């Protein structure tokens, strides 16, 4: 089955990102196709490479990056939600006159249209929120 995933909460504070990750990984291992994972609301914080979790805990951001690499996953961060929360890629940092960027490997920043497209193209869009 072709699935779309939406993640609406940030890492660590809510379980939503963990559940989304575990669901996505399990679906891929079962041979399902993940059309896209879309990060919205505080979910955009799953994409910052500046998180430093304790070493004996899971690294939620790296885990997504590794899954993306392994399965060529499309991890998309909403640009409007990202900008108001301080998530920038190199281009957006430059465009907005900021001195740093923080997007982790495997994620890309794009518009909300990517979420709607995931709803249209996927057989199921599964939302992970609070």
> Per the residue annotation, which of 78, 79, 82, 88 is the catalytic one?
78
Question: Under the criterion CB under 8 A, does residue 14 sit at the interface with other proteins?
Answer: no
Q: Which of residues 52-91 bind other proteins (CB under 8 A)?
A: 80-81
Contact between residue 9 and residue 47 where contact means Cβ atoms under 8 Å apart: no
Q: How far is CA 122 from CA 80, 108, 126, in A?
A: 23, 19, 10
Of residues 15, 23, 103, the one with CA closest to residue 58: 15
- Under the criterion CB under 8 A, does residue 19 sit at the interface with other proteins? no
Select from 3, 6, 27, 109 the one that contacts other proteins (CB under 8 A): 6
Binding site for other proteins (CB under 8 A): 6, 8, 40-41, 80-81, 111-113, 115-117, 119-121, 125, 127, 129
């Amino acid at each position: 089955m072709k699935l779309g995933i939406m993640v609406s909460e940030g890492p660590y504070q809510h379980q939503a990102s963990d559940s989304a990750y575990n669901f996505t990984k399990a679906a891929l291992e079962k041979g399902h196709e993940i059309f896209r994972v879309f990060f919205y609301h505080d979910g955009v914080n799953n994409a910052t490479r500046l998180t430093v979790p304790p070493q004996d805990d899971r690294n939620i951001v790296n885990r997504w990056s590794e899954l993306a690499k392994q399965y060529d996953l499309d991890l998309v961060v909403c640009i409007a939600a990202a900008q108001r929360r301080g998530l920038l890629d190199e281009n957006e940092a430059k465009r907005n006159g900021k001195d740093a960027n923080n997007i982790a490997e495997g994620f890309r920043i794009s518009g909300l249209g990517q979420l709607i497209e995931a709803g249209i193209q996927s057989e199921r869009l599964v939302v992970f929120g609070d």
